Amino acid sequence: MSIIPFYGVDRPDLFAIERAAMDRPGRVIERLDRLLPAGTIADIGAGDGFTAERLATPRRRIVAVEPARAMIDRNRHRTWVQADAEALPFRDGSFDAAYATWAYFFSRGPLDPTPGLEELHRTVKPGGTIVIADNAGDDEFCAFSQHDISADPRFWRGRGFGIEIVDTVFAFETAADAWRLLDFYFDGIGSAPPTLLTYRVALFIGVSQGPPRY
Ligand SMILES: C[S@@+](CC[C@H](N)C(=O)[O-])C[C@H]1O[C@@H](n2cnc3c(N)ncnc32)[C@H](O)[C@@H]1O
């Protein structure tokens, strides 16, 4: 098991502020909605189901996969599986497509995302779409961090993924919300932040190769 500890488990109040502010215009959801087909789709590292709730339609069933039991919100979304991206409890070719938004597949993070990516190729039908959303960097949100918190495009290009950038914003409802979240998230920010920050999101878009042949 390679579960990345997530602050939202202990601080659902702060995660609610983050999820409401992050991409408030819904541009990432809108793009995912166009990229994903009808059928059965996996959301890996689904959090509390924010994205799954918005992408599910009568023709598109989203299976929300999340390892942290405390994150799973059955009021928000119906179909949940508690599992790790590296050991998906599904047969080969179970899904028509899969996506992950800011979860597990952090190419500059503590883990190598390769084992999880192999699981996506195995569980998504050959030719099915795989989309990974992560920070693109070079924006006002990422500039708060002392470290590079953007995805590494070389990692994804090297694995045959294309890249699309979605220009969106972090828009907080109040100055107090902006302060609370950013001060916590970036471990102290010094002065009061604006309530509107530019935010660039990278969508890494690939095609399932199916299970490994050996
Ligand atoms: C930043 S949250 C993103 C949640 C959701 N995708 C969203 O956009 O709101 C990261 C999520 O990844 C989950 N996670 C951590 N390790 C994981 C793993 N090995 N496999 C799948 N998900 C994982 C965390 O529990 C957390 O819910």
Q: What is the CATH number of the domain that holds 159?
A: 3.40.50.150
Q: Is residue 83 part of a domain?
A: yes
Give residue 1's pLDDT: 65
Using the mean position of ligand 1's atoms as its centre, give its distance from the Cα of residue 33 in Å: 20
What is the number of alpha carbons within 13 Å of residue 58 lying toward its C-beta? 0
Report yes or no: 71 and 47 within 8 Å, Cβ to Cβ: yes
Give residue 149's pLDDT: 96
Q: Is residue 214 part of a domain?
A: no
Q: Is residue 76 part of a domain?
A: yes
- Residue numbers of the chain with a pLDDT score lower than 70: 1
Give residue 77's pLDDT: 85
If one counts the domains in the chain, the total is 1
Give residue 212's pLDDT: 83
> pTM score, two decimals?
0.97
Give residue 151's pLDDT: 98
Ligand 1 site residues, Cβ closer than 6 angstroms: 2-4, 6, 19, 44-47, 50-51, 66-68, 71, 84-86, 101-104
Query: Which atom of ligand 1 lies at the shortest distance from residue 5's CA?
Result: 15
Q: Domain range spanning residue 63?
A: 7-207
Give residue 134's pLDDT: 98
Using the mean position of ligand 1's atoms as its centre, give its distance from the Cα of residue 197 in Å: 23
Using the mean position of ligand 1's atoms as its centre, give its distance from the Cα of residue 209 in Å: 24
CA angle 102, 107, 108 (to 5 degrees): 105
| Residues paired with 168 in a beta bridge | 199
Q: Is residue 40 part of a domain?
A: yes
Q: Is residue 138 part of a domain?
A: yes
